Chain A
Amino acid sequence: MKFKVNGTEVFASTGGRPFDKNKPLIIFVHGSGLTHMTWVLQTRYFAFHGYTVLALDMPGHGLSKGESLKSIEEMADWVSNVIDSVGYKEASLVGHSQGCLVTMECAARNPNKIKTLSLMGGAGAIPMNSELLSLAENNDPKAVDLMMDWAHGPAGHFGGHPVPGLYHINTGGMLAKSRTIKNTLGVDFRACDNYKNGFEAAKKIKIPTLSILATGDKMCPVKEGKKLADLIDGSKVEIIDNCGHMMLLEEADRVLKVLKNFILSNYPAKLN
């Protein structure tokens, strides 16, 4: 679905069901340089089970217009504006990687608006490898290739996509190459590197929070994820073994199962 936020056209997948204001809203926020498509194996489930879903393309990413936002704080305010723009007063947020920083900052800034927070492959800070950052800012496709290498666990490197016939590394790579790398990945990596408020934001969060971490995650290791979770009151941690940073695709079913249990019990849809 296309709609406007601050006057600029935005695209969000509604998970294959019509946008329906009578259902609770879940917003999915993708990671650096990626798009709404990373969420396809979670969003459709919720859309078919009583929720209104918006898997966003961040400005300048995927099918959204405008320029990429330059800081995590701006992105957090933008997500909050999305909720207003579609006429909602509240929402549940789900983030992956950079999307965790964004949703966490958004939840800290909007304590009454955000009802639950689910973080996948999140950490309090994501300092960037300087080489990777400079490759991305210089528009070098090698930045994407390196990211795909580090983002997939040992099993994901062989394949075994939950959707028959799809190959992880090339699908992810093509998503990240769908727009000009320096304008998406380059800007995003810089924003992650600059963001220092993660641990402070975490301390302010008082809503039900779930962290899904993966044992083979080289980008946001379990240890870092746990450090963050420890700062969030009563937050729940789920660990997915044999899986890398792209857990939402590599182990889509296991991730969906824990996400489903968490959201259904903390932000239930009224089934009619």
Chain B
Amino acid sequence: MTDKKNKGTDPKTYKFDTLSLHAGYQPHKNAGSRQVPIYQTTSYLFDDVDHAAALFNLERGGHIYSRISNPTVAVLEERVASLEGGTAALATSSGMSAIFLTIMTLCEAGDHLVVSSQLYGGTVNLFRLTLPKFGIKCTFVKPRDTEGFKKAIQKNTKGIFGELVGNPGNELMNMPEISKIAHDAGIPLIVDATYQTPYLCKPFEHGADIVVHSLTKWMAGHGSSMAGILVEGGKFDWMQNDKFPTMTTPYEGYHGLSFAEEFGPTAFTMKARAEGMRDFGPCLSPQNAWNVLQGIETLSVRMKKHCSNAEEMVKYLLGHESVAWVSHPSVPDHPDHELAKKLLPNGRGSMIAFGIKGGKDAGVAFINNVKLASHLANVGDTRTLVIHPASGTHSQMDEATLKFAGLSHDMIRLSVGIEDIDDIKNDFEVGFRAARKPRLVSNQ
């Protein structure tokens, strides 16, 4: 180790924009193809019987069968792991399956989770209704109630789960504080960072242990493909207590392997793949992995535009006569304004919630009359999207649950796209005009 080549102390490992184009891929091992090839393949030749056994025993790395791993999907996994600052990742067929696989890798029947109450509606249903069927119970805590997370921890609690910026109320959870609470209790913090992407926030830098994404959203951007991923930070010590026996003791489910002893900082991903992917099977298709990779290539370029357009829209809405209130962490009187500055220094994201004057009827009229903004059940498309949660995404919730999730009848959720900002504003003018005379328009 000689001094000669060292011209200063900064490591020359690749930085974010470079990693988003290159990480996880070596052209010289792929016929020199500059672009990542799509391995539209299910299964991979063994050299001999010994090689086959070695792959199954995890003696050697490599691909066996595309439910477990696939060369194109593996590029995506490494790319997202590198962008998040994680050790390893496992891509899944959707964001929901990434969350499900994470919980199933972490918990057993009889376990408990502490969960933020402001989550994507589908995730709420998973925690509130579906996981209890498997014997996994959850206690919901409002994202700003940091102490509440601590109080809700029980002896059988195996983790804390939340979205950094709750959907769609835009409430932040204090990730650094809540991670301390989790770590004091010897359990991991799992963060759904779909809305941030690693461009806006790297949760591992703020104490998260596992990050999940719906890649369907900003990471891909193009709204063409379903995909999800779980990423491991590598810092959590599974062996510090006896809460995670399937990670830390010889595990019957995988030839007596102790994942934590053998794989340490990648143990969780190894188990999620070896057990979860093997047995549940929500693998990502190579084509969709490739589609998502195309989106990630331009992640930082797109996120900059998403955020600048969002800030323009916040200003526009704040000054609009038809708007009752605007919620976005960039608004100075947003209760989490300061925390957002700290956790989201590159931009506060492109999700805005606002209240339309005239309540539910006005909301419906607005949605029915905008033309450029698309009315649909998605977020994080490059195109601007709008929805009225009370009648759409969260319509399965009763009044009380709606309120607990931070929703109201006049709320419109806006996912700001990267179109020309003037065109978005002009479109909204049409919607607001209609909203001011809702009955007239809806009769047309």
Q: Which residues of A contact B (CB under 8 A)?
A: 11, 13, 16, 35, 37, 40-41, 44-45, 48, 62-63, 126-132, 135, 142, 145-146, 148-150, 155, 157-167, 169-171, 174-175, 177-178, 218-220, 242, 252-253, 256
Contact = CB atoms under 8 A, between A and B. Distances in A.
B6 interface: yes
A177 B60 CA distance: 25
B264 interface: yes
Contacts of B26: 155, 158-160
A101 B68 CA distance: 39
B57 A16 contact: yes
A37 B263 contact: yes
A122 to B, nearest CB: 12
A271 to B, nearest CB: 12
Contact of A256 (B58, B60, B78, B255): B60
30 contacts: A11-B261, A16-B257, A40-B262, A44-B60, A45-B60, A48-B54, A62-B264, A127-B2, A129-B2, A129-B6, A148-B13, A160-B25, A161-B61, A162-B60, A163-B266, A164-B73, A164-B74, A165-B69, A165-B78, A165-B88, A166-B61, A166-B81, A167-B87, A169-B82, A170-B86, A171-B234, A171-B266, A174-B234, A178-B265, A253-B62
Given A165-B266, A174-B264, 9 more contacts: A16-B262, A37-B264, A40-B263, A44-B59, A126-B1, A158-B24, A164-B73, A170-B86, A174-B235
Contacts of B264: 35, 37, 62, 174-175, 178
A41 B61 contact: yes
B393 to A, nearest CB: 31
A257 B22 CA distance: 28
Contacts of A131: 3, 6, 9
Nearest to A154: B26
Contact-size category for B? 35 or more
B61 A162 contact: yes
Contact of A164 (B53, B61, B239): B61
Nearest to A62: B264
A167 B23 CA distance: 9
Contacts of A37: 262-265
Contacts of B87: 166-167, 170-171, 174
Given A129-B2, A167-B88, A149 B61 contact: no
B102 interface: no
A57 B241 CA distance: 20
B151 interface: no
A40 B71 CA distance: 21
Contacts of A16: 57-59, 255-257, 262
Contacts of B58: 16, 44
Contact of A219 (B1, B60, B61): B1
Contacts of B265: 37, 171, 174-175, 178
A129 B61 CA distance: 33
B22 to A, nearest CB: 5
B425 interface: no
B211 interface: no
